[in-house]
Amino acid sequence: MLIPGKRKEFISIVIPAYNEAERILPTIARIDEYCRLRFHGFEIIVVNDGSRDDTREVVLREKDKTASLRYEGYKPNKGKGYAIRRGVMISAGGIILVSDADLSTPIEEMEKLLAHYDAGCDIVIGSRALAESDIVVKQPWWRQFMGKTFNAFVRSLLSMNFKDTQCGFKLFSGACGRDIFGRASIDRFAYDVEILYLAQKAGFRIEEVPIRWLNSPASKVNPVTDSLQMLKDLIKLRLRNP
């Protein structure tokens, strides 16, 4: 029996996790509580991206208590893009939400994305760069500079007009998500650009939506090595798509 006010679609929430033993449990609990009130059926897929801490043990212990929780893991570390791709490809949802483990974007912000999904969008991406975005805790200046510089390269090399490709809060229709991620190949932080580029070329409807966002100081991004890798991945993507 369907309960009024709950969505009938089954939703998959994919969370990439690298060394997240200390903060993954509150995130799982908060998402589980929210989804139990909002959806008739859902799954939370934590993908352990070769963590060196106790992420595996912590999540597996929680799995015995939380019916919605699924665990996927491997070694060694392969990158955020690989982890999300793996999670999306094993997902069962008619809707897929990708969320960071630190919940920098509160799970309640999904309502904004769902409104555009209901209006016919295939992909809805959270954005920190729109005028209406609510940035409660800002990134340090050097990360803001990196983000703006990277976005300038994205616009120049790939002719994409999104203000913020890198926010970790994105919603996909299940069919679209599994199609696009099934064709993707970038394993690390530039995966977002590849996904949006492939989706745009395929004619999927994409909407960029302002969200509430709080910077987490425990960033996994290395400002030197990861920035260089992201630039290399952008160039490879451009060369593959002349």
**13-72: pLDDT as tens digits:** 999 999 999 999 999 999 999 999 999 999 999 999 999 999 999 999 999 999 999 999
What pLDDT is attached to residue 200? 94
Contact 48, 71 (CB under 8 A): yes
Torsion of CA 202, 208, 209, 213, to 10 degrees: 110
Residue by residue, DSSP assigns 130-166 as STT-EEEEPPPHHHHHHHHHHHHHHHHHH----S-S-
Contact 1, 32 (CB under 8 A): no
Tell me the angle at which helices 24-38 and 55-63 cross, rounded to the nearest 10 degrees: 30
Q: What is the pLDDT of residues 71-107, one digit of tens each?
A: 999 999 999 999 999 999 999 999 999 999 999 999 9
* In the predicted structure, residue 1 carries a pLDDT above the cut 70: no
Q: How far apart are the first and last CA of the chain?
A: 52
Contact 49, 16 (CB under 8 A): yes
The architecture (CATH level 2) of 7-240 comes to Alpha-Beta Complex (3.90)
What pLDDT is attached to residue 24? 97
Question: How big is the CA angle at 100 (ends 46 and 230), to the nearest 5 degrees?
Answer: 110
The ranges assigned to domains in the chain are 7-240
* In the predicted structure, residue 176 carries a pLDDT above the cut 80: yes
What pLDDT is attached to residue 128? 92
Work out the mean pLDDT of the chain and round it to a whole number. Answer: 91
Question: What kind and span of H or E run contains 86?
Answer: helix 80-89
Question: How big is the CA angle at 89 (ends 83 and 95), to the nearest 5 degrees?
Answer: 105
What pLDDT is attached to residue 74? 97
* HEC secondary structure over 198-229: HHHHHCCCEEEEECEEECCCCCCCCCCHHHHH
Give me the percent of the chain exceeding a pLDDT of 70.
93
DSSP code of residue 119:
T
Contact 223, 146 (CB under 8 A): yes
